Amino acid sequence: MTIGADSQVTDLALNDHACLTFCETEELFDLTAAFVRDGLAEGLKVVWVSDAPQRLRQLTERGVAVEPAASTGQMTLVTCESALLTRRAFHADRAMAWLDDQLATLQGESFNGLRVAIDMSWALRPVTGIEQLPAFEADVATALAGSRASVLCQYDRDRFDPVTLASVTSTHNRSVAAATYHHDAVLRICRQYAPPGVRLAGELDHNAAEALNMALQEAIRLDGDMTVNMADLHFIDVASVRTIITAGHSLPAPRIMTLRCTTRVASLFIHLGALDSPRINLVTVHDQ
Amino acid sequence: MTSDLPRDPTKAAPDPPDSASVRPLLDQEFDDDALYGLRSAVAAHASQAGLPEGRVGDLVTAAHELAANAVVHGPGHGRLRLWKYSEAVHCQISDTGNGAAGAGDPALWGVRPGSGLWLVRRLVDHMNLQTGPYGTIATISITLGPAEPQTEFQIRTERHIHCTVVSMSGELDLKTVPQLVAAIDPIIDAQQPPRLILDLTRLRFWDSSGLAALIATQQRIAALPGGRMVLAGLSAQLLRRLRTVGLADRFTLSASPHQAVAQLGKASD
């Protein structure tokens, strides 16, 4: 099942009730980091409802200043249990009461508005009342009309069944996903939003040369430093390594291309001369 | 590297040793759509044959580059055979040529820095390449280490007045590279200018990740004002490897750590 993604996460506006679909945890963290970063920059209050492990560190690593925002109350991390569930039971009205409360609290605060991201992976666990999920999504849409808030519901595209996804997407006014240049069982090439750049996952060889080039060129056209995130890349061929090095080397000073990769992939970049370029910064991430 | 032109690849191929006891572990035809499957098959069989993880990766990359050559520059398809013989894993990638007047000058193959074949030479212990109008036959070998590493990888740091000696024993490979990086970071932060001696007297072996870590460390140190790094006490075998892959000139070498300490001491006077 594919969902036509008509928006980028960076396009979201107030009143939006957006449905975000993602493929991997890495992508969830990336898109959430961009959502949080832009919200904080616009002076909005930001709440992330999720049980994802090490959320704070994940956002901080992607360049979001979470801790200062948390200390002033501008950013809150909430667990699904405390916001949406009552002892493994989901009640749409109680979950709505939590959201209404967030909207009401906003009235007395000086923020420019509210952004809420809700990681829906709790709905994949054994929870009763899950049949009320579409009703909850419809109520959210109603509550947001005329408010100063937006809600981003985050669904794992591979783990939710197509019927559930189809029934909830219709209640959202936008669908959001990472811009994808290549996606099949072996390889995924998509845009990375925080920090900006390209994400490569799986196995990359000359067959994806065109998609790789397009992704790199689009990222280069943006301003500032860029990252090529290869933390989940398990194989890369020589041609692709050279394409990436050439792209990095072509950046005008003082822009830097940071390559995040495993020891194995990093060693190929070293052999092929990545460190000879002052425009390339090679960062090794811990192997899985 | 051999570059004799085979008269007929089916006869001239350096086949898997011709005895009933050595059968190919893998014998697979491939084309462009089959490279992913080919890589997983090579990885699985090389691992089964006893290669450690880092060297499995080296073999997979080398086999892929040779197979991709057959696909992109050759006839578009080929055959890969993998076998274990005499404490090494061997892999042969052959194609039947593309009907053109040969696949270029074999003397130039693998020489152009940055090409796939150039990297293959860095990754494997032996490479034999034969090419001619009937096609190309590449045979690569990676030596199996002892079944169990005799010594765990160990790393020790010793501060001298003018320099720091980091001694390694065992195998510098995909698994142990992070330990080297962790040992080097504080030295670079603490000693200005950084003068580092890597004592490799008891280092038995490196894979391509280990070698890359040495290159990266050298480049980090050289980028700092006054930074110097010396590789000391390399075994004849490792020295030969360094020369084979054309990297001996890239490093300052010293016969022993004592000599290296004296060398750097003099340099700082």
Give the domain ranges of chain B. Answer: 9-143, 154-268
ω into B9 cis (within 30 of 0): no
CA closest to B37 among chain A residues: A186
Say if residue A167 is in the same domain as residue A32.
Answer: yes
Q: Which of B125, B209, B211, B216 lies closest to B174, judged by CA? A: B209
How many angstroms separate the CA of residue B21 from the nearest CA in chain A?
33
Neighboring chain A residues of B212 at a CB cutoff of 8 Å: 266-268, 270-271
Instruction: Report the residue from A186, A264, A275 with minimal CB separation from B216.
Output: A275
Amino acid letter for position B60: V
Residues A55 and A48 sit within 8 Å (Cβ to Cβ):
yes
* Candidate from B57, B119, B219 with C-beta closest to A272: B119
Candidates B233, B228, B235; CA nearest to B268 is B228
Kindly state whether residues A47 and A189 are assigned to the same domain: no
Residues A63 and A126 in one domain: yes
The Cα diameter of chain B in Å comes to 65
Place of tokens 């969902």: A3
Min CA distance, B211 vs chain A (Å)?
Answer: 8
Residues A171 and A99 in one domain: yes
Does residue A1 sit within a domain? no
Find the CB nearest A271 among B122, B177, B181: B122
Residue B185 near chain A (CB below 8 Å): no
Is B215 near chain A, with CB under 8 Å?
A: yes
User: What's the confidence (pLDDT) of residue A71?
Assistant: 94
pLDDT in tens, A39-50: 999 999 999 999
Residues in A closer than 8 angstroms to B54, CB to CB, are 264
Q: Which of A207, A264, A282 sits opposite B32 (nearest CB)?
A: A207
Q: Which residues of chain A lie closer than 8 angstroms to B61, CB-CB?
A: 235, 237-238, 268
- Check A237 against B64: CB less than 8 A apart: yes
Residue A3 belongs to some domain of the structure = no
pTM metric for this prediction: 0.88
β-pair type (A180-183, B228-232): unpaired
Q: A10-14, A147-151, B11-15: which has the minimum mean pLDDT? A: B11-15
Are residues A157 and A46 located together in one domain of the fold? yes
Q: Provide the CATH number for the domain around residue A51.
A: 3.40.50.300
Residue B96 in contact with residue B9, Cβ under 8 Å?
yes
Q: Which residues in chain B come in under a pLDDT of 50?
A: 1-14, 101-103, 107
pLDDT (tens digit, 9 = 90+) per residue, A98-132? 999 999 999 889 999 999 999 999 999 999 999 99
Q: Do residue A20 and residue A108 come from a single domain? A: yes
Instruction: Provide the pLDDT confidence category of residue A245 given band limits of 50, 70 and 90.
Output: very high
- Asked if residue A129 is part of any domain, the answer here is yes
Q: Which of A111, A143, A176 is the last residue of a domain?
A: A176
> A288 to chain B: which residues are within 8 Å by CB?
none
Task: Report yes or no: A255 at the B interface, CB cutoff 8 Å.
Answer: no
Domain that holds residue A82: 9-176
Q: How many domains does chain A have?
A: 2
Q: What is the mean pLDDT of residues A56-75?
A: 93
What tokens appear for A68 in the block? Answer: 């200062």
List the CATH number of the domain containing A194: 3.30.750.24
ipTM for this model: 0.89
Say what the pLDDT of residue B84 is.
Answer: 93
Top-level class of domain B154-268? alpha beta
A150-201: pLDDT as tens digits: 999 999 999 999 888 888 888 899 999 999 999 999 999 999 999 999 999 9
Q: A41 and A62: one domain?
A: yes
Report pLDDT for B11: 37
CA closest to B246 among chain A residues: A271
The domain over range B9-143 is classified in CATH as 3.40.1190.20: no
Q: Cβ separation of A271 and B72 shorter than 8 Å? A: no
User: A125 — contact with chain B (CB < 8 Å)?
Assistant: no
In sequence order, the β-bridge partners of residue B123 are none
Q: Examine the domain organization and report whether A137 and A14 are in the same domain.
A: yes
Tell me if chain B has a CB within 8 Å of the CB of A186: yes
Give the minimum alpha-carbon distance from A204 to chain B in angstroms, rounded to a whole number: 9
Please check whether residues A220 and A167 belong to one and the same domain.
no
Long-range Cβ contact pairs of B19-28 (< 8 A, separation 24 or more): B22/B83, B22/B84, B22/B85, B23/B83, B24/B81, B24/B82, B24/B83, B25/B49, B25/B82, B25/B83, B25/B84, B26/B80, B26/B81, B26/B82, B26/B83, B27/B79, B27/B80, B27/B81, B27/B82, B28/B79, B28/B80, B28/B81
